[in-house]
Amino acid sequence: MATHKLLLLPGDGIGPEVMGEVKRLIDWLNSAGIAKFETDTGLVGGAAYDAHKVSISEGDMAKAKDADAVIFGAVGGPKWDAVPYEVRPEAGLLRLRKDLSLFANLRPAVCYPALADASSLKREAVEGLDIVIVRELTGGVYFGEPKTITDLGNGQKRAIDTQVYDTYEIERIARVAFELAKKRKNKVTSMEKRNVMKSGVLWNEVVTQVHKREYADVTLEHQLADSGGMMLVKWPKQFDVIVTDNLFGDMLSDIAAMLTGSLGMLPSASLGEVDVKSKKCKALYEPVHGSAPDIAGKGLANPIAMISSFGMALRYSFDMGALADKLDQAIAAVLASGLRTADIKSEGTTAASTTQMGEAILKEL
Amino acid sequence: MATHKLLLLPGDGIGPEVMGEVKRLIDWLNSAGIAKFETDTGLVGGAAYDAHKVSISEGDMAKAKDADAVIFGAVGGPKWDAVPYEVRPEAGLLRLRKDLSLFANLRPAVCYPALADASSLKREAVEGLDIVIVRELTGGVYFGEPKTITDLGNGQKRAIDTQVYDTYEIERIARVAFELAKKRKNKVTSMEKRNVMKSGVLWNEVVTQVHKREYADVTLEHQLADSGGMMLVKWPKQFDVIVTDNLFGDMLSDIAAMLTGSLGMLPSASLGEVDVKSKKCKALYEPVHGSAPDIAGKGLANPIAMISSFGMALRYSFDMGALADKLDQAIAAVLASGLRTADIKSEGTTAASTTQMGEAILKEL
Ligand SMILES: CC(C)[C@H](C(=O)O)[C@@H](O)C(=O)O
Ligand SMILES: CC(C)[C@H](C(=O)O)[C@@H](O)C(=O)O
């Protein structure tokens, strides 16, 4: 059995708690002889700042590059609101994405039937919802230069951020979206603001070309990102795969996640380019939710998004699709049994702490 | 009685139809001696392109600068998808905003009680919703330079858009938001992405300073734009006034509008700096909805957003608050009577065309 190297980066807030439940799962898979994971742990975000005054240490970056997959919790919190911009908690996550070239962020927005009522949307609008947002993750306004604040004198400052996209960056993320759509409902919706942004014009042009050249059998639609956002709120089920840039992807995937009523349940995968020789790619898996500092340390956090992110790792990094399916089924079964963490509780369900939820899923598995 | 000069720019798609109902209203106000409006009409968007190969002619721009208020319909449609970027329909609107320095875009998101069920959100989440998004409208990524597509050779192009914000631009929009909040529920939520964007850092800093210096009695909260978007979907009633930049404002105001279920009903005002001498400001009023080319020319469009935008003109440009109130009441009464255009029809209501709706509101008034 092959040994897989994992780097666990719990981060801040509820990160360590939900990561604890993944650790429990990994230990069990190892001891039961189902898989062989070698795990190491590092610091990222505020935790790294508190220890080393950086958002991630060089040592941990080296470990991340060396690992077969990085399992990431969450970063940030009011405690670090005033730290210098360069070492703010989020910088650690952004550096991991950039330095590992994790350009493809897959964010499924799935509505768990047992949770449809937790959505602020009407049941009929979200029941059965199953879409994926494919977000470009290493380009755009997140990383473009110049990115500066300049003092102009007279009490005036000027802030600049730069959105930059090259053809190849759009091509490769478009391919990820089309490939994914082929395994799903065969439809891609590309979103940009071509009526205002030059990057939107190029985005539209390149996605159209890739489609024509390589994926003419997949249905492709284009939407302006603002009306796309509206359509997402009005009738999300019209979509299958949505492909969009880094900043629109940030906004739209969060909104899509919230629509489902299952925010505490949603995983994400950030993938790099597939190496021609090893057929492998760098990867980082993280829950869609944030560090939720307000409930940290109280055993209230829902570990399902984190566990499910590990499930995506099994599927995409380690070719253990069958095991990932079983994990998904175990999660569904535990939910069906009525067990709920605080974020998803409703009348007639049984309250569970972070640990109780993790244990129940493991037991079911 | 003072004479007010209006420039009507119907634009494309359903623009001319809904503008027709405003024209009817203006004619009646004039003939009944209630007000004295002098109206002129111009071309913008695709209509201007078809006539003059521009998105707005210099003549119409001059008229817009000369008018006391511009009443704007909607622009764009598939017919002009392939026209050169510089003369695309939207360019006309963007030039009006920029050249008239209309930096403050006010977008109320109100849920009409009679329409709460038209929302994809649960009734309890939107019933009674009344928030305003104050969007910065002449800065940010919409206008920053460079804004280019460069051919890099080898089949590669590079697209660049630039987000630029200066202190004074953030200060003046923050003041608009705080002033508005003082007349409402006294709460402002500022949204940016300071964890990723330098413009977000400056935005946050300047809004905080303006608050401390001039509006310490107003409640101020800061939200990251992505989680702000989530909160908007989850429980929009937690907000009063939201202030945000041009691009986030574009996304968030459209989403807020869609939440209400009243998209075809929502007006907007775009205001310039108040002139110290005349105490007046340049202004443009337009519906939040777009040109809806699919239903254009069929008498299906809902004229309420357009009429209500004219109502905002009465209030903000012509100091006719009492008349604006009466107009709002007339709209509410017509809705309560069960009259509905196609976009808001539901069981037990009476179908109305664009014209029938306009006439009914006028009759009620
Ligand atoms: C933490 C933050 C930098 C990050 C982002 O903006 O990408 C987060 O919102 C996300 O979506 O993963
Ligand atoms: C038509 C378009 C240029 C415009 C914008 O992006 O600002 C529209 O979406 C709006 O919100 O007024």
Residues in chain A within 8 Å Cβ distance of B76: 195
**pTM of the model as a whole:** 0.96
Tokens 């590079």, residue? B158
Distance CA A102, CA A169 (A): 11
Give the best residue of B136, B163, B288 to mutate against chain A (max A CB count within 10 A).
B163
Element (H, E) at A134: strand A130-136
3-state SS record for B260-298:
HCCHHHCEEEEECCCCCCCCCCCEEEEECCCCCHHHCCC
Side-by-side strand order, sheet with A69-74: A36-41, A3-11, A69-74, A283-287, A267-271, A104-110, A130-136, A241-244, A187-192, A219-224
A251, B166: Cβ pair inside 8 Å? no
Distance CA B29, CA A31 (A): 83
A254, B227: Cβ pair inside 8 Å? yes
pLDDT of residue B1: 86
Residue B225's CB: how many other CB atoms inside 10 A? 29
Q: What are phi and psi of B177, to 5 degrees?
A: -65, -45
pLDDT at A262 over 90: no
Question: What's the whole-number mean pLDDT along residues A125-140?
Answer: 97
Distance CA B311, CA B192 (A): 31
Q: Say yes or no: A83 contacts chain B, CB-CB below 8 A.
A: no
Beta strands A156-166; A187-192: pairing state: unpaired
Distance CA A123, CA A126 (A): 6
Residues in chain A within 8 Å Cβ distance of B161: 141, 162-163, 197-199
Q: Which ligand is nearest to the CA of A55?
A: 1
Position A188 confidence tier, pLDDT thresholds 50, 70, 90: very high
User: Token digits for B241?
Assistant: 């006034």
| Binding site per annotation, positions of B for NAD(+) | 77-90, 290-302
Residue A330 DSSP one-character state: H
Q: Alpha helices, DSSP H only, in chain A? A: 15-31, 46-52, 58-66, 89-99, 123-126, 167-182, 198-214, 225-234, 246-260, 304-316, 321-336, 354-364
Write out pLDDT tens, residues B80-94.
989 999 999 999 999
Q: How far is A7 from chain B (nearest CA, A)?
A: 24
Position A351 confidence tier, pLDDT thresholds 50, 70, 90: very high
Residues in chain B within 8 Å Cβ distance of A167: 152, 155-158
pLDDT at A32 over 90: yes
pLDDT of residue B331: 95
**Cβ pair B96, B102 in contact under 8 A:** yes
**Cβ pair A48, A54 in contact under 8 A:** yes
**Cβ pair B125, A120 in contact under 8 A:** yes
Is A98 near ligand 1, meaning CB less than 6 Å away?
no
Write out pLDDT tens, residues B50-71.
999 999 999 999 999 999 999 9
Closest-CA residue of chain B to A257: B230
Distance CA B60, CA A240 (A): 43
Residues in chain A within 8 Å Cβ distance of B125: 120
Is A329 near ligand 2, meaning CB less than 6 Å away?
no
Q: Say yes or no: A49 contacts chain B, CB-CB below 8 A.
A: no
Closest-CA residue of chain B to A160: B164
Write out pLDDT tens, residues A163-186.
999 999 999 999 999 999 999 999
Write out pLDDT tens, residues B310-339.
999 999 999 999 999 999 999 999 999 999
Distance CA A105, CA A138 (A): 9
Q: Say yes or no: B94 contacts chain A, CB-CB below 8 A.
A: yes
User: Token digits for B34?
Assistant: 């209630």
Residue B349's CB: how many other CB atoms inside 10 A? 15
Residue B165: Cβ-neighbour burial (10 angstroms; 0-12, 13-18, 19+): buried
pLDDT at A114 over 90: no
For residue A259, give the nearest of A76, A128, A72, A106 by alpha carbon: A128
Write out pLDDT tens, residues B6-52.
999 999 999 999 999 999 999 999 999 999 999 999 999 999 999 99
Name the average pLDDT for chain A. Answer: 96
- Residue type at position A276: V
Alpha carbon nearest to ligand 1 atom 7, residue: A250
Radius of gyration of chain A (CA): 20
Q: H helices then E strands: how many in chain B?
A: 12, 14
Write out pLDDT tens, residues B147-191.
999 999 999 999 999 999 999 999 999 999 999 999 999 999 999
pLDDT at B102 over 90: yes
All domains in chain A, ordered by first residue: 1-102+282-365 (3.40.718.10), 111-265 (3.40.718.10)
- Residue type at position A155: G
What is the CA angle A37-A42-A44, rounded to 5?
130
Residue B113 DSSP one-character state: G
Residues of A (243-262) whose Cβ lies below 8 Å from B: 247-248, 250-251, 254-255, 257-259
pLDDT at A101 over 90: yes
Query: Angle A58-66/A89-99 helices, nearest 10 degrees?
Result: 40
A166, B160: Cβ pair inside 8 Å? no
User: Token digits for B114?
Assistant: 């009679």
Name the average pLDDT for chain B. Answer: 96
